[in-house]
Amino acid sequence: MHVPDGFINAPVSAGTGVVAAAAVAVSLRGARRELGDGPGEAGERTAPLAGLVAAFIFAVQMLNFPVAAGTSGHLLGGALAAILVGPYTGVLCVSVVLLLQGVLFADGGLTALGTNITDMGVVTVLVAYAVFRGLLRVLPRRRSMVTGASFVAALVSVPAAAVAFTGIYALGGTTDVALGKVFGAMVGVHVLIGIGEAVITAATVGAVAAVRPDLVYAARDRLAVRLELRPSPLSAGQDAAPAPASDAAPAADAPVPVAARRRSMRPLWISGLAVTLLCAGGLSFYASSSPDGLEKVAADNGIDKKEQKHAAEDSPLADYGVKDIADTRLSGGLAGVIGVGATLAVGSGVFLVVRRRRDRSPAEATEAGPAGSVPATER
């Protein structure tokens, strides 16, 4: 659903650019809390997970799947990001992906970047998160319900983005077309694409929930925390008088939430990266070559009559291929791997900076003391 240059006129493109910039600014502030929230140390691990989620979204967006005769679809990723790392961080994940796709791969117009972030990032994230959290309030507290809720949330988010695009086009479309026909075509094909989005999202959320439920941000309060018993320091058969209860020293055999203990996410991160590289570097070769939902609707209804050439069409990675490499499989696979690396680097860098700013703020507040106080050395 990447909107190219020329579909939307300049004033409305500028307006969506303002909306997108405001959404990113708000998300940068909100992500500080998400990247440090959670039981135990789960929160601080959201930063590297968020970088991986952004890279995964980039990779899976290369895997266009057929949905109807002559039409394909691909993951939008807003629902997946919102559920795994939170809505604010999710908006940033999708924004990073869209920015790199537009600049490096000539996918999605540069003047339409605000439109794409607003539609594919903000709308999908907000709708999916609201639906997901709403369902969790009424569904039984079981892990299978989390997977099911993620399926429904992702399914709803895609046609919601199609409706949002139709609204934006109604305000600033560059060609005169019947909006009712465009609305029906956009929603109809994107309901089908939403099924694919839902399957991918539910499978991914379910896999993460199975091994690290504490890392599913939107369901941390719903997924049961597993308990372990600390081994008693007393040897078998040894008697000892019970120690008095103390708030500072809990009983040695008290159950301790696993999420509260330091757990390495390295296995999950490495396996996730391996799957991401496999999708971008190998499976992308088998993606459908049919136009995606927006391209098909645009061609059928004349929306693309004033489409403009992409400003980065001469990029060495334009159209997801490496320039001057004749082998199609090698060219596409290498471009995918480069894209994963770039998205992972930029995304992780952004999230780590946001995380460090959050960590520094309380420390600075502590050093400053209460408002209006004067350090003792200056009295």
Domains in the chain, ordered, with CATH? 10-224+265-363 (1.10.1760.20)
List, for residues 124-148, the tens digit of each pLDDT value. Answer: 999 999 999 999 999 998 999 999 9
Rounded to whole angstroms, how far apart are CA atoms 74 and 289?
11
In this model, does residue 327 exceed pLDDT 60? yes
Q: pLDDT tens digit string along 272-325?
A: 999 999 999 999 999 999 999 999 999 999 999 999 999 999 999 999 999 999
Residue 264: the pLDDT is: 79
pTM for the model stands at: 0.85
Q: Pick the closest to residue 152 from 180, 194, 115, 205 (CA basis).
A: 194
- The pairs formed by 205-212 with CB atoms below 8 angstroms and a separation of 24 or more are 205/80, 205/83, 205/84, 205/146, 205/147, 205/150, 206/143, 206/146, 206/147, 206/150, 208/84, 208/268, 209/143, 209/146, 209/147, 210/143, 211/268, 212/263, 212/265, 212/268
CA dist 73 → 62, 291, 305, 331 (Å): 10, 8, 22, 22
CA distance 70 to 189: 11
Does 337 score more than 50 pLDDT?
Answer: yes
CA atoms within 13 A on the CB side of 256: 14
pLDDT tens for residues 287-299?
999 999 999 999 9
**Around 307, how many Cα atoms within 13 Å sit in the side-chain half-sphere?**
15
Instruction: Give the pLDDT band (50/70/90) at residue 222.
Output: confident
Q: Mean pLDDT score of the chain, rounded to an integer?
A: 86
Average pLDDT over residues 368-375: 44
